[in-house]
Protein backbone atom coordinates (compact mmCIF):
# COMPACT_ATOMS: atom_id res chain seq x y z
CA UNK A 1 0.00 0.00 0.00
CA UNK A 2 1.21 3.60 -0.59
CA UNK A 3 2.93 5.28 2.35
CA UNK A 4 0.60 7.37 4.47
CA UNK A 5 0.93 11.11 4.44
CA UNK A 6 3.17 12.25 7.25
CA UNK A 7 2.19 15.44 9.05
CA UNK A 8 3.64 16.94 12.23
CA UNK A 9 1.11 19.45 13.52
CA UNK A 10 3.48 21.43 15.75
CA UNK A 11 7.18 22.28 15.74
CA UNK A 12 9.11 25.28 17.04
CA UNK A 13 12.70 24.68 15.97
CA UNK A 14 15.77 26.80 15.31
CA UNK A 15 15.16 26.62 11.58
CA UNK A 16 17.96 25.74 9.20
CA UNK A 17 18.62 23.89 5.96
CA UNK A 18 19.71 20.93 8.09
CA UNK A 19 16.28 20.69 9.72
CA UNK A 20 14.43 21.08 6.42
CA UNK A 21 16.57 18.28 4.97
CA UNK A 22 15.73 16.10 7.97
CA UNK A 23 12.03 16.69 7.30
CA UNK A 24 12.56 15.32 3.82
CA UNK A 25 14.58 12.36 5.10
CA UNK A 26 11.72 11.59 7.49
CA UNK A 27 9.17 11.81 4.69
CA UNK A 28 7.29 14.71 6.26
CA UNK A 29 4.78 16.12 3.80
CA UNK A 30 3.66 18.94 6.09
CA UNK A 31 4.68 20.66 9.32
CA UNK A 32 2.74 23.25 11.32
CA UNK A 33 5.26 25.77 12.69
CA UNK A 34 4.85 28.33 15.46
CA UNK A 35 5.47 31.92 14.39
CA UNK A 36 4.35 33.70 17.59
CA UNK A 37 4.31 33.10 21.35
CA UNK A 38 3.93 36.66 22.67
CA UNK A 39 4.42 38.86 19.58
CA UNK A 40 2.06 41.64 18.57
CA UNK A 41 0.86 42.03 14.97
CA UNK A 42 3.91 43.92 13.72
CA UNK A 43 6.40 41.45 15.16
CA UNK A 44 4.36 38.53 13.81
CA UNK A 45 4.34 40.11 10.34
CA UNK A 46 8.14 40.31 10.58
CA UNK A 47 8.22 36.58 11.42
CA UNK A 48 6.08 35.86 8.35
CA UNK A 49 8.55 37.89 6.28
CA UNK A 50 11.37 35.76 7.70
CA UNK A 51 9.53 32.60 6.63
CA UNK A 52 8.88 34.03 3.17
CA UNK A 53 12.63 34.46 2.82
CA UNK A 54 13.19 30.85 3.91
CA UNK A 55 10.72 29.71 1.28
CA UNK A 56 12.76 31.56 -1.35
CA UNK A 57 16.14 30.29 -0.16
CA UNK A 58 15.06 26.67 0.37
CA UNK A 59 12.42 26.29 -2.34
CA UNK A 60 13.77 22.85 -3.19
CA UNK A 61 12.83 21.64 0.31
CA UNK A 62 9.89 23.71 1.62
CA UNK A 63 7.05 26.00 0.56
CA UNK A 64 4.15 27.80 2.26
CA UNK A 65 1.09 25.62 2.71
CA UNK A 66 -2.40 27.08 2.62
CA UNK A 67 -4.75 24.14 1.87
CA UNK A 68 -4.81 20.38 2.12
CA UNK A 69 -3.98 20.19 -1.59
CA UNK A 70 -0.61 21.73 -0.76
CA UNK A 71 0.18 18.62 1.30
CA UNK A 72 -0.49 16.53 -1.80
CA UNK A 73 1.65 18.89 -3.89
CA UNK A 74 4.44 18.50 -1.35
CA UNK A 75 4.30 14.72 -1.76
CA UNK A 76 4.31 15.02 -5.56
CA UNK A 77 7.28 17.42 -5.62
CA UNK A 78 9.36 15.86 -2.84
CA UNK A 79 9.09 18.85 -0.51
CA UNK A 80 7.46 19.77 2.81
CA UNK A 81 4.52 22.16 3.05
CA UNK A 82 4.92 24.56 5.98
CA UNK A 83 1.74 25.77 7.67
CA UNK A 84 2.01 28.84 9.91
CA UNK A 85 0.38 28.99 13.33
CA UNK A 86 0.12 31.17 16.44
CA UNK A 87 0.42 29.87 19.99
CA UNK A 88 -1.12 33.13 21.20
CA UNK A 89 -3.90 35.53 20.17
CA UNK A 90 -1.59 38.49 20.85
CA UNK A 91 -1.08 39.24 17.12
CA UNK A 92 -4.75 40.18 16.69
CA UNK A 93 -4.30 42.69 19.55
CA UNK A 94 -7.85 44.03 20.18
CA UNK A 95 -8.75 44.19 16.48
CA UNK A 96 -10.97 41.43 15.13
CA UNK A 97 -10.22 42.54 11.57
CA UNK A 98 -6.64 41.32 11.90
CA UNK A 99 -7.87 37.71 12.00
CA UNK A 100 -8.62 37.74 8.28
CA UNK A 101 -5.40 39.64 7.55
CA UNK A 102 -3.37 36.94 9.30
CA UNK A 103 -5.24 34.21 7.44
CA UNK A 104 -4.42 35.94 4.15
CA UNK A 105 -0.76 35.95 5.24
CA UNK A 106 -0.91 32.16 5.55
CA UNK A 107 -1.74 31.59 9.23
CA UNK A 108 -3.95 28.51 9.70
CA UNK A 109 -3.99 27.87 13.49
CA UNK A 110 -4.40 30.23 16.44
CA UNK A 111 -4.48 29.37 20.13
CA UNK A 112 -6.96 31.43 22.13
CA UNK A 113 -4.49 31.61 25.01
CA UNK A 114 -0.93 30.63 25.85
CA UNK A 115 -0.92 29.48 29.52
CA UNK A 116 -2.24 32.81 30.87
CA UNK A 117 -5.58 34.60 30.78
CA UNK A 118 -5.98 36.41 27.46
CA UNK A 119 -8.63 38.71 26.03
CA UNK A 120 -10.28 35.55 24.67
CA UNK A 121 -9.96 32.68 27.16
CA UNK A 122 -8.20 31.28 30.23
CA UNK A 123 -4.87 29.49 30.10
CA UNK A 124 -4.06 26.25 31.89
CA UNK A 125 -1.80 27.93 34.47
CA UNK A 126 -4.43 30.28 35.91
CA UNK A 127 -6.00 29.46 39.27
CA UNK A 128 -9.50 30.40 38.09
CA UNK A 129 -10.98 29.54 34.69
CA UNK A 130 -13.68 32.03 33.68
CA UNK A 131 -14.19 30.47 30.26
CA UNK A 132 -14.53 32.15 26.88
CA UNK A 133 -14.84 35.94 27.04
CA UNK A 134 -17.12 38.23 25.02
CA UNK A 135 -14.32 38.95 22.56
CA UNK A 136 -13.48 35.26 22.53
CA UNK A 137 -16.96 34.40 21.26
CA UNK A 138 -16.66 36.97 18.48
CA UNK A 139 -13.16 35.76 17.61
CA UNK A 140 -14.29 32.14 17.33
CA UNK A 141 -17.11 33.16 15.00
CA UNK A 142 -14.71 35.10 12.79
CA UNK A 143 -12.17 32.28 12.77
CA UNK A 144 -14.95 29.87 11.77
CA UNK A 145 -16.00 32.19 8.94
CA UNK A 146 -12.62 32.43 7.27
CA UNK A 147 -11.08 29.04 8.08
CA UNK A 148 -8.58 29.81 10.84
CA UNK A 149 -8.54 26.80 13.18
CA UNK A 150 -9.19 27.33 16.89
CA UNK A 151 -6.37 25.64 18.87
CA UNK A 152 -6.84 25.06 22.63
CA UNK A 153 -3.56 23.29 23.41
CA UNK A 154 -2.58 25.64 26.28
CA UNK A 155 -6.07 26.41 27.56
CA UNK A 156 -7.82 25.49 30.80
CA UNK A 157 -10.61 22.91 30.81
CA UNK A 158 -13.68 25.16 31.06
CA UNK A 159 -12.39 27.44 28.32
CA UNK A 160 -11.64 24.44 26.12
CA UNK A 161 -15.06 22.89 26.66
CA UNK A 162 -16.76 26.21 25.93
CA UNK A 163 -14.69 26.74 22.78
CA UNK A 164 -15.77 23.29 21.56
CA UNK A 165 -19.41 24.17 22.25
CA UNK A 166 -19.28 27.68 20.76
CA UNK A 167 -17.32 26.85 17.61
CA UNK A 168 -19.44 25.93 14.60
CA UNK A 169 -16.45 24.10 13.10
CA UNK A 170 -14.22 21.46 14.71
CA UNK A 171 -11.37 22.79 16.82
CA UNK A 172 -7.94 21.26 17.37
CA UNK A 173 -5.68 20.52 20.30
CA UNK A 174 -2.53 20.33 18.23
CA UNK A 175 -0.02 19.21 20.87
CA UNK A 176 -1.05 17.50 24.11
CA UNK A 177 -1.53 14.04 25.59
CA UNK A 178 -3.95 12.32 27.97
CA UNK A 179 -3.76 13.55 31.56
CA UNK A 180 -4.94 10.09 32.66
CA UNK A 181 -1.63 8.76 31.27
CA UNK A 182 0.58 11.58 32.54
CA UNK A 183 -0.92 14.36 34.70
CA UNK A 184 0.96 17.32 33.25
CA UNK A 185 -1.03 20.53 33.51
CA UNK A 186 -0.97 20.86 29.74
CA UNK A 187 -2.35 17.37 29.08
CA UNK A 188 -6.09 16.96 28.60
CA UNK A 189 -8.78 15.25 30.65
CA UNK A 190 -10.98 12.47 29.32
CA UNK A 191 -13.97 14.85 29.62
CA UNK A 192 -12.31 17.37 27.30
CA UNK A 193 -11.24 14.71 24.81
CA UNK A 194 -14.69 13.12 24.67
CA UNK A 195 -16.22 16.52 23.92
CA UNK A 196 -13.51 17.18 21.33
CA UNK A 197 -14.30 13.88 19.61
CA UNK A 198 -18.05 14.44 19.65
CA UNK A 199 -17.49 17.71 17.77
CA UNK A 200 -15.16 16.13 15.19
CA UNK A 201 -12.07 17.89 16.57
CA UNK A 202 -8.49 16.61 16.39
CA UNK A 203 -5.86 15.80 19.02
CA UNK A 204 -2.15 15.84 18.15
CA UNK A 205 0.10 13.81 20.46
CA UNK A 206 3.00 15.74 21.96
CA UNK A 207 6.53 14.32 22.16
CA UNK A 208 7.80 17.10 24.42
CA UNK A 209 9.30 15.26 27.43
CA UNK A 210 7.36 17.26 30.05
CA UNK A 211 4.17 15.89 28.47
CA UNK A 212 5.38 12.26 28.48
CA UNK A 213 5.08 9.63 31.18
CA UNK A 214 8.61 9.16 32.57
CA UNK A 215 9.77 12.27 30.69
CA UNK A 216 12.85 11.79 28.54
CA UNK A 217 12.86 8.10 29.56
CA UNK A 218 9.38 7.48 28.13
CA UNK A 219 9.41 4.38 25.96
CA UNK A 220 7.94 4.13 22.48
CA UNK A 221 5.68 1.31 23.64
CA UNK A 222 4.31 3.45 26.48
CA UNK A 223 3.64 6.34 24.08
CA UNK A 224 1.87 4.05 21.60
CA UNK A 225 -0.19 2.44 24.35
CA UNK A 226 -1.34 5.96 25.28
CA UNK A 227 -2.24 6.54 21.63
CA UNK A 228 -4.27 3.33 21.64
CA UNK A 229 -6.12 4.50 24.75
CA UNK A 230 -6.88 7.80 22.99
CA UNK A 231 -8.14 5.88 19.95
CA UNK A 232 -10.55 3.98 22.20
CA UNK A 233 -11.69 7.25 23.79
CA UNK A 234 -12.00 9.43 20.69
CA UNK A 235 -11.89 7.14 17.66
CA UNK A 236 -8.74 6.41 15.63
CA UNK A 237 -9.73 8.92 12.93
CA UNK A 238 -9.44 11.95 15.26
CA UNK A 239 -5.84 11.62 16.47
CA UNK A 240 -2.49 12.55 14.97
CA UNK A 241 0.97 13.84 15.86
CA UNK A 242 1.88 17.34 17.05
CA UNK A 243 5.39 16.67 18.34
CA UNK A 244 6.12 20.10 19.89
CA UNK A 245 9.70 19.51 18.74
CA UNK A 246 11.98 22.42 19.70
CA UNK A 247 15.07 21.17 17.93
CA UNK A 248 18.41 23.01 18.07
CA UNK A 249 16.99 25.79 20.24
CA UNK A 250 19.22 27.25 22.98
CA UNK A 251 17.90 26.89 26.53
CA UNK A 252 17.39 30.66 26.65
CA UNK A 253 14.42 30.21 24.30
CA UNK A 254 12.55 28.41 27.09
CA UNK A 255 12.54 31.67 29.05
CA UNK A 256 11.08 33.52 26.06
CA UNK A 257 8.40 30.88 25.62
CA UNK A 258 7.43 30.95 29.30
CA UNK A 259 7.57 34.64 30.17
CA UNK A 260 8.01 36.80 27.08
CA UNK A 261 7.94 40.32 28.52
CA UNK A 262 4.89 39.97 30.77
CA UNK A 263 6.90 39.32 33.98
CA UNK A 264 10.37 39.73 35.45
CA UNK A 265 10.11 36.42 37.27
CA UNK A 266 10.81 33.03 35.71
CA UNK A 267 7.82 30.76 35.11
CA UNK A 268 9.20 27.22 34.98
CA UNK A 269 6.04 25.72 33.53
CA UNK A 270 6.07 21.94 33.86
CA UNK A 271 9.81 21.97 34.53
CA UNK A 272 11.66 23.09 37.66
CA UNK A 273 14.32 25.60 38.61
CA UNK A 274 16.88 22.80 38.45
CA UNK A 275 15.77 21.80 34.94
CA UNK A 276 14.81 25.07 33.31
CA UNK A 277 16.17 24.31 29.85
CA UNK A 278 14.94 21.95 27.16
CA UNK A 279 14.91 18.36 28.43
CA UNK A 280 16.49 15.68 26.20
CA UNK A 281 14.17 14.08 23.67
CA UNK A 282 13.43 10.35 24.07
CA UNK A 283 16.02 8.27 22.23
CA UNK A 284 13.39 7.00 19.79
CA UNK A 285 12.34 10.53 18.74
CA UNK A 286 15.28 12.86 18.26
CA UNK A 287 14.14 14.67 15.13
CA UNK A 288 11.90 14.50 12.06
CA UNK A 289 13.71 11.44 10.72
CA UNK A 290 12.18 9.26 13.43
CA UNK A 291 8.57 9.18 12.25
CA UNK A 292 8.87 5.71 10.73
CA UNK A 293 9.62 4.27 14.16
CA UNK A 294 6.42 5.76 15.59
CA UNK A 295 4.36 4.19 12.81
CA UNK A 296 5.89 0.78 13.53
CA UNK A 297 5.18 1.25 17.24
CA UNK A 298 1.53 2.04 16.55
CA UNK A 299 1.15 -1.21 14.64
CA UNK A 300 2.69 -3.13 17.54
CA UNK A 301 0.16 -1.43 19.84
CA UNK A 302 -2.71 -2.87 17.78
CA UNK A 303 -3.41 -0.17 15.18
CA UNK A 304 -4.31 -1.50 11.74
CA UNK A 305 -2.32 -0.27 8.75
CA UNK A 306 -5.13 2.18 7.89
CA UNK A 307 -5.43 3.44 11.47
CA UNK A 308 -1.68 3.89 11.82
CA UNK A 309 -1.64 5.79 8.52
CA UNK A 310 -4.35 8.04 9.89
CA UNK A 311 -2.35 8.90 12.99
CA UNK A 312 0.80 9.59 10.99
CA UNK A 313 -0.89 12.18 8.81
CA UNK A 314 -3.97 11.08 6.89
CA UNK A 315 -6.28 12.28 9.68
CA UNK A 316 -4.68 15.73 9.76
CA UNK A 317 -4.93 15.95 5.97
CA UNK A 318 -8.67 15.33 6.11
CA UNK A 319 -8.96 17.99 8.83
CA UNK A 320 -6.96 20.47 6.71
CA UNK A 321 -9.21 19.80 3.70
CA UNK A 322 -12.32 20.51 5.72
CA UNK A 323 -11.21 23.47 7.86
CA UNK A 324 -8.67 25.71 6.12
CA UNK A 325 -11.15 27.41 3.79
CA UNK A 326 -14.17 29.72 4.24
CA UNK A 327 -17.30 28.30 5.85
CA UNK A 328 -19.75 26.98 3.28
User: Nearest to residue 125, comparing CAs of 162, 91, 159?
Assistant: 159
Summarised one tens digit per residue, pLDDT across range 15-59 is 999 999 999 999 999 999 999 999 999 999 999 999 999 999 999
Share of the chain above pLDDT 90, in %: 91
Topology adopted by domain 7-323: TIM Barrel (3.20.20)
- What confidence tier does 221 reach under pLDDT thresholds 50, 70, 90? very high
User: Is 273 a residue whose pLDDT tops 80?
Assistant: no
Q: What is the pLDDT of residue 254?
A: 86
Q: What pLDDT digit, counting tens, does each position of 291-321 carry? A: 999 999 999 999 999 999 999 999 999 999 9
Residue spans per domain, the chain: 7-323
C-alpha span between 53 and 14 (Å, rounded): 15
> In the predicted model, is pLDDT for residue 282 greater than 70?
yes
Residues 202 and 315 sit within 8 Å (Cβ to Cβ): yes
Q: What is the pLDDT of residues 69-107, one digit of tens each?
A: 999 999 999 999 999 999 999 999 999 999 999 999 999
- CA dist 274 and 66 (Å) reads 41
Q: What is the pLDDT of residue 267?
A: 79
- Is the pLDDT at 233 greater than 60? The verdict is yes
DSSP letter string over 199-243? TT-EEEE---GGGSTTGGG--HHHHHHHHHHHHHHH-GGGEEE--
Question: Cα(223)–Cα(291) distance, rounded to whole angstroms?
Answer: 13
CA pair distance 164, 171, nearest whole angstrom: 6
Phi, psi at residue 90, to the nearest 5°?
-55, -35
pTM: 0.96
Amino acid sequence: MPQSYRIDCLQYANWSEKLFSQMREGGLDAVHVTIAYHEDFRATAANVADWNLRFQRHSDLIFKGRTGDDVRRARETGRTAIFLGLQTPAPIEADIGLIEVLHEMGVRFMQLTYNNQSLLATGCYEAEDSGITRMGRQTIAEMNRIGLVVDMSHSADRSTLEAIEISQRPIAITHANLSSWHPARRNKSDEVLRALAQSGGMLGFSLYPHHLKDGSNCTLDSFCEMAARAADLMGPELIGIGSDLCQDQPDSVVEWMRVGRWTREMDYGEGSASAAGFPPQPKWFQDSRDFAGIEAGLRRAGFSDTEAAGVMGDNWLRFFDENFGPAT
